[in-house]
Amino acid sequence: MSSLYKEITLPNGVKYSQPVGLFINNEWKSSSKTFETLNPSTEESIASVYEASAEDVDLAVSAAKQAMKTWKDVPGEEKARKILKLAELLESKLDLFAAVEAMDSGKPLETNSKPDIQSVASYLIYCAGFSDKLHGKVIPIDKDRYAITKRYPLVVGQIIPWNYPLSMASWKFCPALACGCTIVIKSSELTPLSLLLFADLVKEAGFPPGVFNVISGFGAVAGNRIAEHPDLDKVAFTGSTVTGQKVMKAAAGNLKHVSLECGGKSPLLVFDDADLDQAAKWAAFGVMYNSGQNCTANSRILVQDNVYDKFLQLFTAELKKSWIVGDPFGKKTTLGPVISKGQYDKIRNYIKKGKEEGAVLILGEDDEQLKSLPKKGFFIPPTVFKDCQQKMTIVQEEIFGPVVAVSKFSADSEAIEKANDSIYGLAAMVFSQNFGRIQSVADKLEAGSIYLNSSNDEDLRVPFGGFKMSGIGKELGEAVIELYTETKSFYMNVSHKL
C-alpha cells in the first residue's frame, strides 16, 4: 500500500484504507513532516498524517486559483449534479465515516457520530439547490438608466475545528461549492481523518482538479498562511475567539473577506411557568451532547428562585439517567471522552476553580453513580455546580466540556441582565409556557440564535451566527450565499446621453 494511505482496523472490527497525505489538485502528496492523531478513548495512536507547511499551503492555493479560471464558468446545473453525487456517495458510506469520526474524535457512534455525518449529506443536498439560483437584481434608476448586479465566486480558505470534524467543514464547503468557489480547507490537527477520507469522494464525484484541496496541519503554520495568503479572496474560520482574533488580524494584510464562528457561553433561562420536566431534558441535552464540546452548549443555566430546587432535582436525575459515560462504540454510551489530554486538563482546572471560588458541586466524579469511568481515555462525567455567582470564572469563561454552572434569579429583568452579562452572544435558550413573556425576553437577549422551549435544535435552513465576541457573518440558510460570493454592479445607460 502507498505511504499516502494506511490500512486501519476500526474498534468495531471493520478495516478500511485511510488517506494520510495532502489532497492538492486531486492528487495525494507527501510533505516533509508528519504528526500523529490519537484516539481520545484509548489515548493510542491511530495514524501518522502528513503535515502541511506554508509552502504546501501555497501549492494548494495555486491549484485553487488555477481551477477557478474554468470552474467559475461551469453551469450551475452541472455543479448541482456533482454536489448531489457527492451526497449520494457519502450516504453510501455513512457507517464508515461515522465510525472513523467516533474513533478519531470520541463521539458516541449511534447517538452523535451517525447524525453528524447524515447532516453533511443533507446539507450537500440543500446547497445543491443554490447552484443554479444565484441571481442578481435589476435596479431601475430612471427612464433611461438601470443597473444590474451579478454574483461572482471566490477562492476561499477554510479553517475547521475539531469538535465537529466533517459537519463543521460542511457548513463551509457545501455553500462554497454551490456558489462556484474553489477551496483550500484545513482540518484540525486533532481530528484530520474524516475530511481526508471525504476528499476521495470529491474526486470520485467528478470535481475537477484544484476545486477542493484538503490539508492537515497546525494553526500557527498552515492556518496562519491561509489567513494571510494574498491569493485567497476569503477566509472562513470556526474555533475559539482567541484564534479567531488572530485569523482576522492576519487576514487584514490584504483585506480579504472574513467570517468567524467563535466561542460561546450560552445561557438557558428557566422561568417558573416552564414545563420543568421538558426544561430539564433539553438543558441536559444542550450541555452534554458532544461531551459539552459545542459552541452553543447551554453551559450557564439561570433558574427562577421559586422553582430552583425542583429544577435541580429534575436536571441531575436526567443527567444520571440519560447521559452514560463510556466507549463511543458501546451501545448504551451517550457521553464520550473529551478530545485530548490538553482539553481534559483544562476542564479539570475549571472544575477546581469552581470549587475554589465557592460554587457548590452537586454532581460530578465524586457521585457514586459516576465513579466507574473507563481507566483509559479523557473521560469527564456530567458535572454540575449550583449557587453560582456572575463573577465566577465558570460563569464567565467558556469551558467546552460537560460542565454546567447553575444560578438563580427572581425577576425577568434580572434574568435578562445576567444572561447578557457575557462577552459572548452565540445562542440563548428560554423556557416558559407564556408566549408573551417568552417573546419579550427573547427580544432582549443578545445572541444570534434563540431557542424557545428547546436547546441546540438548529436547522440547516436557518441562518446561524453570533453577536459580540462570538463571531462575524451568518452561516446556513440562504444568508450563507453572502459569505461566498462577491457582488458586481453594472450601470446601463440605454440613451447613451450624458
Output the pLDDT for position 307: 98
Spatial CA neighbour of 268 closest among 405, 466, 63, 87: 405
Determine the pLDDT at residue 370: 57
Low-confidence ranges of the chain (pLDDT < 50): none
The reported pLDDT for the residue numbered 341 is: 97
**In contact, 370 and 382? CB cutoff 8 Å:** yes
In tens, the pLDDT along 364-377 reads: 977 665 567 888 99
Alpha carbon of 300 to those of 100, 153, 163: distances in Å? 32, 40, 20
Stated length of the chain: 498
Task: Count other C-beta atoms under 10 Å from residue 120's C-beta.
Answer: 26
Output the pLDDT for position 283: 98
Check: CB of residue 461 under 8 Å from CB of residue 128: no
User: Can you list the domains of the chain with their CATH numbers?
Assistant: 5-262+471-488 (3.40.605.10), 267-460 (3.40.309.10)
Q: Which three cell numbers stand for residue 47?
A: 495514524
d(CA 51, CA 43): 20
Phi/psi at 62 (nearest 5 deg)? -60, -40
Query: 7 with 16: CB under 8 angstroms?
Result: yes
Q: Residue 76: CA atoms inside 13 Å, Cβ hemisphere, count?
A: 16
Distance of alpha carbon 65 from alpha carbon 181, whole angstroms: 10
- Residue pointed to by grid coordinates 450560552: 266
Query: What pLDDT score does 95 carry?
Result: 98
Phi, psi of 268 (to 5 degrees): -115, 120
According to DSSP, the residues that pair with 494 across neighbouring strands are none
Cell of 54: 506554508
Question: Quick one: angle between helices 94-105 and 114-128, nearest 10?
Answer: 120
pLDDT at 271: 98
pLDDT in tens, 14-71: 999 999 999 999 999 999 999 999 999 999 999 999 999 999 999 999 999 999 999 9
> In this structure, what is the dihedral angle of CA atoms 289, 483, 459, 123, given to the nearest 10 degrees?
-90
pLDDT for the residue 373: 80
- The 3 state secondary structure assigned to the chain is CCCCEEEEECCCCCEEEEECCEEECCEEECCCEEEEEEECCCCEEEEEEEECCHHHHHHHHHHHHHHHHHHCCCCHHHHHHHHHHHHHHHHHCHHHHHHHHHHHHCCCHHHHHHHHHHHHHHHHHHHHCCCCCCCCCEEEEECCEEEEEEEEECEEEEECCCCCHHHHHHHHHHHHHHCCCEEEEECCCCCCHHHHHHHHHHHHCCCCCCCEEEECCCHHHHHHHHHHCCCCCEEEEECCHHHHHHHHHHHHHHCCEEEEECCCCCEEEECCCCCHHHHHHHHHHHHHHHHHCCCCCCCEEEEEHHHHHHHHHHHHHHHHHHCCECCCCCCCCCECCCCCHHHHHHHHHHHHHHHHCCCEEEECCCCHHHCCCCCCCCCCCCEEEECCCCCCHHHHCCCCCCEEEEEEECCHHHHHHHHHCCCEECEEEEECCCHHHHHHHHHHCCCCEEEECCCCCCCCCCCECCEECCEECCECCHHHHHHCEEEEEEEEECCCCC
Q: How far is CA 62 from the centre of its chain?
A: 27
Which amino acids are annotated catalytic?
261
Q: What pLDDT shows up at residue 369? A: 56
